[in-house]
Structure 1
Amino acid sequence: MRIRLLVLLFLSTTVLWAQNPPPRFTVSGYVREAVSQEALIGVNVYLPGTTTGTTTNTYGFYSLTLPAQDSLRLAYSFVGYDAIARTIGLRTNQTLNVLLTPGQRLAEVDVTAGRLTEKVSESAQMSTIDVPVSQIKKIPAFLGEKDVLKVLQLMPGVQKGSEGQTGIYVRGGGPDQNLIILDDAVVYNASHLFGFFSVFNGDAIKSVELIKGGFPARYGGRLSSVIDLNMKDGNREKLHGEGGIGLIASRLTLEGPLTKNKKPGQPSGSFLISGRRTYLDIVAAPLINAQTKGQMQAGYYFYDLNAKANYDFSPTNKVYLSGYFGRDKFYAHDNSQNNDIGLGWGNATGTLRWNHLFNQKLFANLSLIFSDYKFQISAVEKSTLATDTYSLQYNSGIRDFSLKYDVDYYPTPQHSVKVGLQSTYHRFTPSAVVLQNAGINQAINNINTIDVLESGIYAEDTWRPSSRWRINGGLRLSYFHQTNATYIKPEPRLSGAFTLKPDLSIKASYALMNQYVHLLSNTGIGLPTDLWVPSTDRVKPQQSQQVALGIAKDFTTGSEFVRGLTLTVEGYYKSMSNIINYKEGASFLLINDPTSANSLRWEDNVTAGRGWSYGVEILLQKKAGRFSGWAGYTLSWTQWQFAELNGGQPYYPRYDRRHDISLVGIYDLSKKITLSAVWVYGTGNALTVPVGRFDSYRAGNALVYGGSPGIVQSFFSPGRTVDDYGTQKNSFRAEPYHRFDLGVQFHKKMKHHERTWEFSVYNLYDRRNPFFYRLESVPATATEPTRTALFRYSVFPVVPAVSYNFKF
């Protein structure tokens, strides 16, 4: 009897092993917006009631390979759109393109376990933040100008620069350590108006994502963050426009189809063009002329232009062409001195991309990229006799030509593979001086250019080995070649999430990053005078290693207020090596003697050091619903150390900030009224300020400070007042920064268009936040003698704003 049972068991097992596994088929397609046919990035595509799913890529494409089924139910959901479900039979490969309808409804449309987007607890990626552009447009802004970068400054782990500045400092890194990408093109200077506004026009932007750590292998070249922005593709259905008129600038965006009355299956495409210009020059010029009684004429303006076109030649071949062009210009003419001065900077980018779908599992994109950043100072001085003219022109910049190829491969729902390569030819122009004296027929034209090649190849895989694990692992190999130096460096990346229970997971990540370009800055606030330079044989590449650990929680049930909330808590430690800074007293902009500045190697003026940063970040975020917004808190420490600065001792850099809090709330009171508010608080910046002041005079060859011999300095004159900055760098802590902004929008739908009036107040309770400090003499009074005191200067009191926005 036992033998018979064993024989039957063996035969049944043999039959089971002999059977072929069930056939598998692939369902793939594109997810677009129903109204405009705009491709949607990051749409969640999943099997309801399971953890099986994927998300659409940058071009709206998705792919899932599943066992054959007579009836397969797929759900599609995305923040700000109504979720939908589709039922298909999967007995052969299927192409399923889906349209999502814009809406703010949280209720699901016959979809189980409804999610608005991929749950943060299920994603392998950590230290990543994305903010819907529709939400950005509702947040009150300085002078009414919506700004992507200023919204990112409100996120934990991101420190802002000085009052009103768009500079971004992420987890202890400097402004040069942020990789800012617009449609694959690097933007080197993202500021207008000396940093008070960014170059990104929100009307032209489709998505923005900030990555602070656990970087996927496809990104490289910076240490601290990636800010990945994508422009809108353009409306494929009809001509659409939107714009606005504000206090300092106006903007207009037009988009529409490239082909009219297209039939199903015909090639199609769309275009977008968006422009913005300030009119500060028109408003300020008469005021300056009146106040100086015609002795001074000055002005400033900026403009930017975004353009994009795309065309589908076939279901498997699509082409995108996009570009950005922007410029800032300041000019002044002094009639009394017969002098002219000008300051200008600008970016230009261009990206040509070709998508090719090899099959339902294999998606590829080829990009040709151009990026150019230029900065210029010009000065002309004419003698009163008009016989002698002195002119100076100083230029600097960086120009890139890049080739990039990426492949997305979806073999199974458990694996999403990305491989690719990128190569960039950089041309740096850190010094270009034109000096001319017409009176003596003398002219000097010196230009320094540095050509380098930077490349990288990568592979990464998002792996789901079980329902509890999500892992993203990858390796990037970076290569850099300059005339006297070649560097090849591996960059391993690993991040993962383990599900403790539904909607709750623990995450960890590690990333090693290398950076081959550097930004030389005297101020640390990202002014256009800062210079980009490459690594050399003397200046090594910057490198960072970062580890992070945290938890992620999704709230999918409960009241409307609670449902849709996500909570992330992360702790991190980051070490940085070979970071560079100017030596004490050094500057590359020696305008008084530009020819000698050109003859010096910039490496002689810098020193290399190391840094480290660690802290905890908490973010409670809600992206959609009648009430949305976020609350963020950061507790962090950052220190730098250079052998030739601060006596070789560690010090806190300017933007080390112990505590940082941001509260952002948006409430749709009705379909016609939207209320919004922002409150921020931050520990004051670490600064080096004078600790005393002395009167100097000359005694023979010695310079005397209040009677004590000092160091001879030729530029000191008898009786000069000298500030003493002490021996410790950044030993002074500025007062805390905080402010409250409030805004209200009034919407109205007309017959052919929609208009919005917005009223906002920046710094509602008139907090005089410090912009800089200076020692000044206080005159004597009847009771006190003349004394010296440290004065705080602020730039923005209460700033009201009004703007008119429209859509048609």
Structure 2
Amino acid sequence: MQGFAQQVVLSGILRDASTGETLIGAVVSTDNNVYATSTNAYGFFSLTLPAGRYKIQLSYVGYETKVEDLELSSNRRLNSELKPLDNVLDEVVVSAKKKDGNVRDAQMGAFNMTMEEIKNVPILFGEKDLLKTIQLLPGVQSGGEGSANFYVRGGGSDQNLILLDEATVYNASHLLGFFSTFNSDAIKDVQLYKGGIPAQFGGRISSVLDIAMLDGNQKRFAAEGGIGLIASRLKIEAPIVKDKSSFMLSGRRTYADMFLKLSNDEDINKSKLYFYDLNAKLNFKLNDRNTLYLSGYFGKDDLGYSDLFSFDWGNATATVRWNHIFNDKLFSNTSLIYSDFTYNVQVSSDDTDFTIASKILNYDLKQDFSYYASNNSTIRFGLNALRQSIQPASLSASQSTNVNSISVDTRQGIDLAAYISHEWKPFDRLSLIYGLRINDFMVMGPGTFYDFDAEGEALGETYYGTRVAKHYFNLEPRFSASYLLSEKSSVKASYNRIAQNLHQLTNTTSSLPTDQYVVSSLNIKPQIANQAAVGYFRNFMDDGYEFSMEAYYKYMQNQIDFRNGADLQANRFLEGELLFGIGRAYGLEWYVRKNVGKLTGWISYTLAKSERQFDGIDGGDWFRARQDRTHDLSVVGMYALSKSWTLGTTFVFNTGNAVTFPSGKYEVDGKSMFYYTERNGYRMPNYYRLDLSATYEPQKPNKRFHSSWTFGVYNAYNRRNAYIIDFRDSETTPNATEAYQVALFGIIPSVTWNFKF
């Protein structure tokens, strides 16, 4: 009987034959598909099967399927390479790598994509932009016109964990949100989790965006870049030792500031307006069992007007990772991670000269194991130790100014976590992922901690030295399940509980670099979310069409808002300005996608509600969260007009954000003052926009050098969507108040020349 046959393990790493890049999510199966598995985030796979002769199929989207004829009588290592297809149409596919993985996999509320797969989606200024593309998915909302900021399932922007090679990135945007932090040329793979978040992730209650950088070409020197209207980029990669080690270096800079030099106005001529970012990575294959990776990101924005005002902010990250294969079933990844976010605001005039500065500094140690017990059973477990230090905004003033310096204590915390999860397929129709994460957050000294009364006034203070001031201990269960109704349809369910100990203090819908961050303290408790979701998934026409519908409910504890008139900058009593309450978000998400043919793309629609409740706001009644939007629709289409031309279009519509407008006014010393009643009781106008693009790729016999032109039109019918609505006294009608609207963008054409060799 086969069940008593000798069991052997086939394991190895799959790579791209042209570059040596590891392939994430590639499928390894027998020719009859009885035994199958997929590669992990580092290209490693482990397949257990009875001894015998097999035709092993190695497949990956966009690559030639490779078949290995193997006689397996004992455990065997198979490291192989797949060749990219030369005739792949330029189509957009946002999915798991397995054609029917959206139906069969237990994981729900997740999307996977590569930069190649999103290159034809029209984006502002013609730049490929990861963060703006994920805003076109169900359950993910844009932070506003042109913004890289995003919200997931009714949560706040600070509730999204953004990882770049495992390092946390804060305020992931350039030029106040018009560009995202991530240079698409340097990115290999992206995984978004918005429900059923795996146990290895923690620290944010809404979503995880896990981004992997390219390792570097191990075969040959290669370069790639692009020249646009306001920014250019260049990436180079090459082997250090062929098939053993390589590097990747990618940079990008905007030159919008150079146009300022053309002005005859001296103040404008001396102003600054630019950003740059740099991605770097090295990898060394020490032997068949050990690989070492070193990666880093450095980015900075610098804005300023003459000598009067300057504002700069930036991220820096560094990751050292060691992959070790203990045996054919046990895989290990050890990571040392550094992350730094800073901003500085400087104001200088005749009687004012001061600087406001803030900094977040992380040191992180992670140890992850994957044990492939069988084809139907994988156990993941690990440990995580994070030391976090936050210097809140402090004000430093020169002695000659009339502004007083204000120093605010640095806050520190240590976050310890351990997790275990089990991915298990007990029988053919049922797949499960369940696990537990245990989290202990320690509020650390040294520092002075304050007590506050119900009105936010400081009552007293306590000084803690270099020791633990308080523990916050949380258990975080995770569960996902998929049940096949047929070969092409399934129902799924998930539940997760997550604690978050980092809090962003913002009173706008668009996250700004100057927004304050605080860690959990004696007054601020960890945010906790419990989210449950159910869904129906169905594929049609040989997986060429996909349909899904998900419903979710999320209950959030220890949410933060502000007292009216709160002072957020350089305030040592900042915690007294805060109010604490609860939140809930619920909705339905529909997703339809076409994968085949000349016309590809997707339609996503979300019907949702997001609310908050605070005793100190609106008498304790429920009110809309700022990011509450009833309707959110995205339509994305790509059409392969010919081998040289690909057309793209995006249409978006969403209900306007909830806002607080004045309900009346009164007069003080001849000046009109507004007063406000219900929080977020009004809405901005509905938002909609159409974007178009066309990509031309000349078909030349010279395959070594390749170039393309991308032409785009953002906001094609010049819709003046409201960015800000404010109020003022009417200049024509005495004692009347009028509203006025500020629109950020009209129609914006763009052109970018891309090249690679």
CA distance in 2, matches of 1:247, 1:98: 42
SS at match of 1:800: strand
SS at match of 2:4: coil
2:118 is aligned with 1:168: no
Correspondence for 2:48:
65
Correspondence for 1:348:
316
2:436 is aligned with 1:456: no
SS at match of 2:744: coil
Decide which of 395, 399, 404 is 2:366's aligned counterpart. 404
Correspondence for 1:533:
518
Does the Cα contact within 8 Å between 2:26 and 2:97 map onto a contact in 1?
no
Report the alpha carbon displacement of residue 720 of structure 1 after superposing the two structures with TM: 1.3
Does the Cα contact within 8 Å between 2:260 and 2:269 map onto a contact in 1?
no
Q: State the Cα deviation string for residues 618-640 of structure 1 (Å, max 9, x = none).
A: 11224566432211010111111
Report the alpha carbon displacement of residue 433 of structure 1 after superposing the two structures with TM: 2.5
Report the TM-score, using the length of structure 1 for normalisation.
0.87
CA distance in 1, matches of 2:493, 2:517: 34
Q: State the Cα deviation string for residues 93-122 of structure 1 (Å, max 9, x = none).
A: 111122222227689xxxxxx985452111
Correspondence for 1:281:
257
Instruction: Label 1:536 to 1:785 Cα distance change in 2 as closer, same or farther (>3 A).
Output: closer
Report the alpha carbon displacement of residue 670 of structure 1 after superposing the two structures with TM: 2.0
Decide which of 51, 55, 63 is 2:38's aligned counterpart. 55
Decide which of 586, 592, 604 is 2:566's aligned counterpart. 586
Report the alpha carbon displacement of residue 791 of structure 1 after superposing the two structures with TM: 2.2
Correspondence for 1:486:
471
CA distance in 1, matches of 2:401, 2:651: 59
Q: State the Cα deviation string for residues 646-669 of structure 1 (Å, max 9, x = none).
A: 232111112111111111111222
CA RMSD, Structure 1 to Structure 2 (Å): 2.2
Report the alpha carbon displacement of residue 777 of structure 1 after superposing the two structures with TM: 4.1
SS at match of 1:771: strand
Q: State the Cα deviation string for residues 532-584 of structure 1 (Å, max 9, x = none).
A: 11001211100000110011122352xxxxx4322211011110000112222
Correspondence for 1:426:
388
Correspondence for 2:273:
300
Q: State the Cα deviation string for residues 130-171 of structure 1 (Å, max 9, x = none).
A: 223112211111011211000000011011112111111101
CA distance in 1, matches of 2:665, 2:723: 21
CA distance in 1, matches of 2:617, 2:65: 57
Report the alpha carbon displacement of residue 447 of structure 1 after superposing the two structures with TM: 5.1
Correspondence for 1:723:
674
Does the Cα contact within 8 Å between 1:574 and 1:614 map onto a contact in 2?
yes
Q: Which amino acid aligns with 2:494?
A: S
Does the Cα contact within 8 Å between 1:79 and 1:624 map onto a contact in 2?
no
CA distance in 2, matches of 1:446, 1:115: 51
Correspondence for 2:292:
319
Instruction: Label 1:131 to 1:20 Cα distance change in 2 as closer, same or farther (>3 A).
Output: closer
Does the Cα contact within 8 Å between 2:438 and 2:475 map onto a contact in 1?
yes
Q: Which amino acid aligns with 1:739?
A: R
Does the Cα contact within 8 Å between 1:135 and 1:623 map onto a contact in 2?
no
Does the Cα contact within 8 Å between 1:78 and 1:117 map onto a contact in 2?
no
Does the Cα contact within 8 Å between 1:43 and 1:117 map onto a contact in 2?
no
SS at match of 1:528: coil
Report the alpha carbon displacement of residue 434 of structure 1 after superposing the two structures with TM: 1.6
2:742 is aligned with 1:793: yes
Does the Cα contact within 8 Å between 2:25 and 2:98 map onto a contact in 1?
no
CA distance in 2, matches of 1:623, 1:343: 45
Does the Cα contact within 8 Å between 2:387 and 2:415 map onto a contact in 1?
yes
Does the Cα contact within 8 Å between 1:64 and 1:413 map onto a contact in 2?
yes
SS at match of 2:117: helix
SS at match of 1:651: strand
Correspondence for 2:639:
667
Between stretches 616-625 and 743-752, larger displacement belongs to 616-625
Q: State the Cα deviation string for residues 168-200 of structure 1 (Å, max 9, x = none).
A: 110110000000000010101101001111100
Instruction: Label 1:774 to 1:98 Cα distance change in 2 as closer, same or farther (>3 A).
Output: same
Does the Cα contact within 8 Å between 1:115 and 1:556 map onto a contact in 2?
no
Q: State the Cα deviation string for residues 466-522 of structure 1 (Å, max 9, x = none).
A: 111110011100110013210111111010101111021110001001001100112
CA distance in 2, matches of 1:161, 1:462: 34
Report the alpha carbon displacement of residue 446 of structure 1 after superposing the two structures with TM: 3.0
Report the alpha carbon displacement of residue 346 of structure 1 after superposing the two structures with TM: 0.3
Correspondence for 1:140:
122
Instruction: Label 1:293 to 1:62 Cα distance change in 2 as closer, same or farther (>3 A).
Output: closer
CA distance in 2, matches of 1:171, 1:435: 42
> Greater Rg, structure 1 or structure 2?
1
Q: Which amino acid aligns with 1:271?
A: F
Correspondence for 2:686:
736
Report the alpha carbon displacement of residue 671 of structure 1 after superposing the two structures with TM: 2.0
SS at match of 1:41: coil
CA distance in 2, matches of 1:231, 1:516: 27
Report the alpha carbon displacement of residue 281 of structure 1 after superposing the two structures with TM: 0.9
Q: Which amino acid aligns with 1:24?
A: Q
Report the alpha carbon displacement of residue 787 of structure 1 after superposing the two structures with TM: 3.9
Q: Which amino acid aligns with 1:450?
A: R
Does the Cα contact within 8 Å between 1:104 and 1:625 map onto a contact in 2?
no
Does the Cα contact within 8 Å between 1:509 and 1:547 map onto a contact in 2?
yes
Aligned length: 725
CA distance in 2, matches of 1:500, 1:165: 40
SS at match of 1:194: helix
Q: Which residues in structure 2 correspond to 1:68-217 (within 5 Å)?
A: 68-69=51-52, 71-103=53-85, 116-117=98-99, 119-217=101-199
Correspondence for 2:466:
none
CA distance in 1, matches of 2:3, 2:30: 24
Does the Cα contact within 8 Å between 1:580 and 1:609 map onto a contact in 2?
yes
Does the Cα contact within 8 Å between 1:221 and 1:514 map onto a contact in 2?
yes
Instruction: Label 1:115 to 1:191 Cα distance change in 2 as closer, same or farther (>3 A).
Output: closer
Does the Cα contact within 8 Å between 2:254 and 2:274 map onto a contact in 1?
yes
Q: Which amino acid aligns with 1:457?
A: A
CA distance in 1, matches of 2:215, 2:682: 49
Q: Which amino acid aligns with 2:682?
A: F
CA distance in 1, matches of 2:283, 2:596: 29
Q: Percent identity?
A: 40
Report the TM-score, using the length of structure 2 for normalisation.
0.92
Instruction: Label 1:621 to 1:83 Cα distance change in 2 as closer, same or farther (>3 A).
Output: farther
Runs of 5+ consecutive residues of structure 1 not aligned to the other structure: 1-15, 108-113, 263-267, 334-338, 384-389, 558-562, 698-717
CA distance in 2, matches of 1:51, 1:325: 46
Correspondence for 2:328:
360
